[in-house]
Amino acid sequence: VDPDEVNALAQLMTWKTAVADIPYGGAKGGIGCNPRDLSISELERLTRVFTQKIHDLIGIQRDVPAPDMGTNAQTMAWILDEYSKFHGHSPAVVTGKPIDLGGSLGREAATGLGVVYATEALFAEHGKTIADHTFVIQGFGNVGTWAAKSVHERGGKVIAVSDVTGAIRNPNGIDIPALLQHKQENENLKEFPGADTMDPDELLVHECDVLMPCALGGVINKENAGHVKAKYIIEAANHPTDPEADEILSKKGVVILPDIYANAGGVTVSYFEWVQNIQGFMWDEEKVNHELKKYMTKSFRDIKSMCKAHNCDLRMGAFTLGVNRVARATLWRGWEA
């Protein structure tokens, strides 16, 4: 992370929470380090000192951190514990916590599952289902694994997958449950018996119906956008497509489901977790997933009506929806100056 990226993501977060129609603003924060290079105790000390520095900037009604790249439920548990030393036990101050500390069922799967609900909403417009398509998934971390699992369960064919350890493909479809087990045991995708290795750079331009970038930003750029063969791009990562690539892909007729909608499942279930903590009443997983699907489906309908009203693509429709909602709230508060 660097200040520019954090600023950009905080802005995206503002529009994302407005598109999802949840009562949050937008913020981001991070620590410039590579968690893979640090031991658990180093990560814990770093997280606790970070929390000591920001404890008066975050709060239940102020700023509620949630996990992102390089962080997990353990990180959130440390932040909660450190924050509680200053302010008393406050489970609602962070989301993405372990279940034992007031985390929500379904939170870990939320972003990946939300991506699949968003994809289902898009396909329903065209009278299609996930089972009718082939998928390529770039990034096999939290979001990528849950997205792959959900696609596989719905009969979709995942034909290629990559992460930092490499890339693999099988034109007949990869056995995702077997791959997940292989990754858990070996901590990499290589030597998976059910697929061939491939050049990770070729993954984004691999023949498929649906491309899901689930890792870093800026991976689809003007250099490779012209070679993308997918009909749909579902932006599970934050800003994976840069503006020049966006233009090239639009001219090719590629349908892009924008990040501020497609990956809003995570922040939506973070909102559910916050609600449960404030109420002191926990929901079962079925309710969490039912509510998530409801929110994702409604947001898609709202975006589509914006697209029809302004005759624009899905990204412009989503941004118009988000900015309009923030603008209306701003006017109601009397801030038009």
Identify the pLDDT of residue 337. 54
Residue 135 has pLDDT above 60, yes or no: yes
DSSP collapsed to 3 states, 193-241: CCCEEECHHHHCCCCCCEEEECCCCCCECCCCHHHCCCCEEECCCCCCE
CB 160 within 8 A of CB 139: no
Amino acid code (one letter) for 224: N
Mean pLDDT, range 112-122, rounded to an integer: 96
The pLDDT tens digits for 191-223 are 898 889 998 888 999 999 999 999 888 899 999
- The residue from 28, 97, 149, 293 that is catalytic is 28
Does the annotation count 28 as an active-site position? yes
pTM given for the model: 0.92
88 Cβ neighbours under 8 A, 6+ residues apart: none
Residue 262 burial (10 A CB sphere; 0-12, 13-18, 19+)? buried
Q: What is the share, in percent, of the chain residues with pLDDT greater than 70?
A: 100
